[in-house]
Structure 1
Amino acid sequence: MRSQQQADSELIQVYGKIVAIAVMLLILAVLGFRFVGSVDKVSAQGLKIEHARLLNVLAMVRSQWMTQGRPKQMMLDWSTTLSRGDGEQNIILMSNQGWPTLDKVTESSCNQLWWQLLGTKNNIAQVVTLQGPDGDICSFIASNGDRLSYQLSAGRVVFLTDH
């Protein structure tokens, strides 16, 4: 009789542990889904921050362009010690209106311009780069669909969000 009660007691303890593990897994699953849902929000915040940074950098570049006598190309003052990793200096082309521009608009040249102006790689920032259909726009798209577009000829920056 004693061994039957002991077996029943052990079985109840095992069931209790299984229920406790199930509850813990349920709590972890809920927290996991909330975390995954917040990743898109963090990505969108990152692109909003990059939008503000891009506006500030473009204003500084245009100011430098005017103080340097409106050259066709210039090296950015804040990045004189930086290189793209292949030994090439950070020289950007400038439009007649004083905005950073590109000879040929491609996804890789838009990525390079992003790096030159903001100092971050798109893959680190989890941003996809696209060129505009008319060849005058570089678009940077976050994983949640938010888009930051830079019009090369006019220096216009547009931030679009789905929210």
Structure 2
Amino acid sequence: MLSQQKADIELLTLFGKISSLVILLLVLSYLAFNYFGSIKQAGQQHIQVDHNRLLNTLGIIRSQWLIRGKPSPLKLDWRSEPKGDIAATGFVAMAEGGWPILNEASAVGCRELIDELLGAGYSQQVVTRFNSSSGVCRYIDVSGGSISYQTGSGRVIFLTRR
């Protein structure tokens, strides 16, 4: 009878270990799904921040354009270098209404424009598309969110993927 009790105890111990392992796997899977869901949400927030940056930048550019007498090529000199020196980023062509337009009606022109507006190398972080029939530059983030810039009107549209 002693060997039967020993076998029962071993069986109960094994059952306890298996139960603990199943509970641990359930908790870890719950945490993993929540973690990956928050990563997707953080990516959408990143493109939303870029959308706000673009809107603010366009407002600043329009103000500079008005202050300087509405020049067609506007010199951008509102960024600062790490040493504190103000550095001109270049020129951007302006429409009569006061919004930046493309130098070249293509995806390359869209990349050049967004790099001028949001910083050199920004176009490397997004997929850039250009619709020649509507004149819209579309910047698509890895999360699926996108910013569309209508070159004919200066309108900016932010879309998320749901």
| Aligned match of 1:47 | 47
For residues 78 and 19 of structure 1, the distance between their equivalents in structure 2, rounded to whole angstroms, comes to 62
SS of the aligned residue for 2:78 comes to helix
User: For each residue in 1:77-112, what CA deviation from the matched residue of structure 2 results, as whole angstroms up to 9, or x when unmatched?
Assistant: 222538xxxxxx621322232322222133343233
| Aligned match of 1:153 | 152
For residues 19 and 124 of structure 2, the distance between their equivalents in structure 1, rounded to whole angstroms, comes to 43
Letter in 2 for 1:21: L
CA RMSD of aligned residues (A): 2.9
Change (3 A) 1:39 1:105: farther
Give the superposition deviation at 1:150: 0.7
| Aligned match of 2:122 | 121
Relative contact order (alpha carbons < 8 A, sep ≥ 6): 1 or 2 greater? 1
Give the superposition deviation at 1:135: 6.2
Confirm or deny: 8 A CA contact 1:92 1:101 kept in the other structure: no
| Aligned match of 1:28 | 28
Letter in 1 for 2:100: P
Which blocks of at least 5 consecutive residues in structure 1 are unaligned? 83-88
Confirm or deny: 8 A CA contact 1:105 1:135 kept in the other structure: no
User: Which one is further off, 21-30 or 1-10?
Assistant: 1-10
Change (3 A) 1:23 1:136: same
| Aligned match of 2:17 | 17
Change (3 A) 1:146 1:3: same
| Aligned match of 2:138 | 139
Give the superposition deviation at 1:29: 1.1
For residues 31 and 77 of structure 1, the distance between their equivalents in structure 2, rounded to whole angstroms, comes to 47
User: For each residue in 1:37-70, what CA deviation from the matched residue of structure 2 results, as whole angstroms up to 9, or x when unmatched?
Assistant: 3333333333232222211110101111222333
Change (3 A) 1:11 1:59: same
Give the superposition deviation at 1:149: 1.0
Structure 1: 4+ residue segments shifted above 3 A: 1-8, 142-147, 160-163
TM (normalized to structure 1)? 0.74
For residues 24 and 49 of structure 2, the distance between their equivalents in structure 1, rounded to whole angstroms, comes to 36
SS of the aligned residue for 1:101 comes to coil
Confirm or deny: 8 A CA contact 2:71 2:94 kept in the other structure: no
| Aligned match of 2:110 | 110
For residues 15 and 161 of structure 2, the distance between their equivalents in structure 1, rounded to whole angstroms, comes to 48
Identity %: 37
For residues 104 and 44 of structure 1, the distance between their equivalents in structure 2, rounded to whole angstroms, comes to 29
TM (normalized to structure 2)? 0.75
Give the superposition deviation at 1:143: 4.6
